[in-house]
Chain A
Amino acid sequence: MIERVGLIGAGGVSHVHAQAWRELGRTVTVYSLDGAPELARQYGFELADDLDEVLRTSDLIDVVTPTPSHREITVAALEAGLPVICEKPLGATQADAVAVAEAARAAGLPVFPAHVVRYMPDYAALKAALDAGRIGPVAIARWWRHGEAPGAGSWFHDESAGGGIVRDLMIHDLDQALWQLGEVVEVYGVQSGASETGEPNAVAVAVLTHASGAISQLTASWGPRGTTFRTGYAVFGAEGMLRSDSDRNGPYLADVPGDAASSGYMPPQTRAVSPYTAEIAGFLDVVEGREAAARVGVDDGVAAVALAELVMQSIAEGRAIPVGRVDAAERESGELR
């Protein structure tokens, strides 16, 4: 039983994790270089003075720090004998992600990369429908994800420090493409970007050729301040099609001039259980022995980071990149869930 959770990091995504832990009734200790007292006060959590303290006093570590520190903190937690939930991407580089997977295997402990989209009902339902063959063999799939750009100057924009739109935003759909349509054999990417108002906007496109022959087109964009977050997909098979669009399928539409409640970073909360809570509950089911595996394991986290890196390589080199060899390396290092 996981009683005490160490939450490391107190930035944007920490709130949905904090909310989940509160709903799941666990005792949380926060450690962060920045913002920990405010987060602890808001959610009634305890504070730790340093990493050692939080590792010493916790049964599980939840890492929601900026991407460049995921590897170091996750490995430290594993070495302290603790299972880890790590916000996506699992590592700033493929090498980092592989190192995390190796540390998990060495420790015999699970690491759950928080690919929350797997816990979003519209995506989970698609997976079930595709697995059941409802629309026949898939030919073409389009996945899209649009939101507000992170603030100028933040690490999110620094591709040399674990950031960039592909690694941070598109990675959700890279994981979806892999989960839903399987192994990828070729990757092609293009990207454009500009800073006009100080907010660095960007659009990235990836085209993935799956081993099945299916083609995935992924579009991710970081828009100006005030951009409405939206996400969706259209998947076309030989016997039908399935699509979902967050701004058309939503059960909640607000028209409140001057509304401060909207967020351009994340989808609005429209379900009794947030997907972040569902995701963390799914991980606890494994750690506490109720389930053998979660919907996402450490190998999936490695695969998504590896694919993101190939997309970025394709963007940089202006050519399509075959995947074969990298994929084999991932499988070798990523058997543990």
Chain B
Amino acid sequence: MTKLRVAVLSFAHGHALSYARILQRDPSVDLIATDPDGSGPDRGRGAADELGVAYVDSYDDAFAWGPDAVVVTTENSGHLALVERAVQAGIHVLCEKPLATRLEDGTRMVAAAADAGVRFMTAYPVRFAAAFAELRRRVADGELGRVLAVHGANNGKMPGGDSWFTDPELAGGGSLVDHVVHCADLFDALLGVEPTTVRAVANDILHPEIDGRVETGGIVTLQYPGGVIGTIDCSWSWPDASPTWGGLQLEVIGTRGSVRVDPFAQHLGGFEATGPLWIGTGDDLDEAMIAEFLDAVASGRTPQPDGGAGLRTLRIVDAAQRSARAGGAPVAPA
């Protein structure tokens, strides 16, 4: 059997290591990685060696290897160039979220992938949580009655103090960019419509050490057709002292009742000598997401969440940023 050739492009995003680990142990995949823009000369090769993944020195080398698919996990601002290069070469793409730092870049990427007829998937692993799937089924079957409100909170520690996540150029913004999209995507999957109005307020009270380079806290309010309302708390508000990175809570309120979903809640809680202990026991959502991507590539179908989902959620981020910049004026998504 011919193996699927997959290249992981950059370890800039921490999720890349998880994706590489999962791909590496998949017997149907032949994997290489490259990380030419790494902070130190050894970041990429060191990580690849540790994972037992073949390493090449440049994106040129990676493309020359002739991958069938690539995983794009650069800084957010780097997605566009690599995605365009890949799809133009007929290579399928799994792109880390958010798709781009600017809405027009996301639009270009999705159009380019469609023109090239390749599979283009956005990395939204929470979609694959069994708890979310059950919620989605209940909503679709009308078991909650008419949906009135969807509430999401995606809070976590701020990604490493000096990292590109707090660089407005490389990341495209702060917590509004990093943490609105997951909840926005879950709402998209549940409701099947885009919001008509987006309103956001943000501040930089958390993590004063980054001197207000980007927003660290934010609250987004959404209105959907049919009167459904939504909220997203996207703040990097989980204290550094927390034994876990953070989490995502989702609540759907319908006329017949409500459901709360907390996909990262499953854990052993306790204490070790130095403080609280948290051992996650939930499913590996990245694994399910990678499986969907590989299956879609193998069978020639559109993966979900696709580039369109990535673009619709990017539209919400774009609107939230515009609203926050306008001091909290409600805006329509572009």
Closest A residue by C-beta to B216? A139
Closest B residue by C-beta to A318? B330
Q: How large is the interface on A (under 10, 10 to 19, 20 to 34, 35 or more residues)?
A: 35 or more
Closest B residue by C-beta to A219? B151
Contact status of A236 and B207, CB under 8 A, knowing A140-B217, A203-B148: no
Nearest chain B CB to A218 CB, angstrom units: 10
Q: Using an 8 Å CB-CB cutoff, how does the interface string of B237-261 with A read, 1 for contact, 0 for none?
A: 1110100000000000101111000
Q: Is the CB of A227 within 8 A of B257?
A: yes
Closest B residue by C-beta to A139? B205
Closest A residue by C-beta to B239? A240
Q: Using an 8 Å CB-CB cutoff, how does the interface string of B218-238 with A read, 1 for contact, 0 for none?
A: 110101000111010101011
Q: Which residues of A contact B217 (CB under 8 A)?
A: 139-140, 215, 236
> Is A190 on the interface with B (CB-CB < 8 A)?
yes
> Is B153 on the interface with A (CB-CB < 8 A)?
yes
Number of residue pairs spanning A and B whose beta carbons lie under 8 angstroms apart? 127
Contact status of A223 and B253, CB under 8 A, knowing A140-B235, A205-B221: yes
Q: Which residues of B contact A209 (CB under 8 A)?
A: 201, 328
Contact status of A241 and B238, CB under 8 A, knowing A219-B151, A236-B217: yes
| A221 to B203 Cα, complex, angstroms | 27
Q: Is the CB of B229 within 8 A of A203?
A: yes
Q: Is the CB of B149 within 8 A of A197?
A: no
| A190 to B237 Cα, complex, angstroms | 24
Q: Is the CB of B203 within 8 A of A201?
A: no
> Is A89 on the interface with B (CB-CB < 8 A)?
no
Nearest chain B CB to A205 CB, angstrom units: 6
> Is A186 on the interface with B (CB-CB < 8 A)?
yes
Q: Using an 8 Å CB-CB cutoff, how does the interface string of B182-217 with A read, 1 for contact, 0 for none?
A: 000000000000000101011101111000000011
Q: Is the CB of A192 within 8 A of B228?
A: yes
Q: Is the CB of B201 within 8 A of A240?
A: no
Q: Which residues of A contact B199 (CB under 8 A)?
A: 188, 207, 320
> Is A262 on the interface with B (CB-CB < 8 A)?
no
Contact of A221 among B149, B202, B329 (CB under 8 A): B149
Q: Which residues of B contact A138 (CB under 8 A)?
A: 205
Q: Which residues of B contact A203 (CB under 8 A)?
A: 148-149, 229, 253
| A209 to B205 Cα, complex, angstroms | 13
Q: Which residues of A contact B233 (CB under 8 A)?
A: 140, 142, 217
Nearest chain A CB to B208 CB, angstrom units: 6
Nearest chain B CB to A302 CB, angstrom units: 25
Q: Using an 8 Å CB-CB cutoff, how does the interface string of B133-148 with A read, 1 for contact, 0 for none?
A: 0000000000001101
Q: Is the CB of A319 within 8 A of B237?
A: no
Nearest chain B CB to A245 CB, angstrom units: 10
Contact of A207 among B149, B151, B201 (CB under 8 A): B201
| A6 to B139 Cα, complex, angstroms | 49
Nearest chain B CB to A278 CB, angstrom units: 30
Q: Which residues of A contact B235 (CB under 8 A)?
A: 139-140, 236
Q: Which residues of B contact A197 (CB under 8 A)?
A: 255-256
Q: Using an 8 Å CB-CB cutoff, how does the interface string of A172-190 with B read, 1 for contact, 0 for none?
A: 0000000000000010101
Q: Which residues of A contact B155 (CB under 8 A)?
A: 236
> Is A137 on the interface with B (CB-CB < 8 A)?
yes
Give me 19 other A-B pairs in contact (C-beta within 8 A), A197-B256, A207-B199 excluded: A138-B205, A140-B206, A140-B218, A140-B233, A142-B233, A188-B201, A192-B148, A192-B227, A194-B146, A195-B255, A196-B145, A201-B145, A205-B149, A205-B229, A209-B201, A209-B328, A224-B256, A236-B206, A320-B330
Q: Can you give 20 contacting A-B residue pairs, CB < 8 Å? A: A137-B205, A138-B205, A140-B203, A186-B201, A188-B199, A194-B146, A194-B148, A203-B229, A203-B253, A205-B221, A207-B219, A214-B205, A227-B258, A236-B155, A237-B206, A239-B239, A240-B239, A241-B239, A319-B330, A320-B199
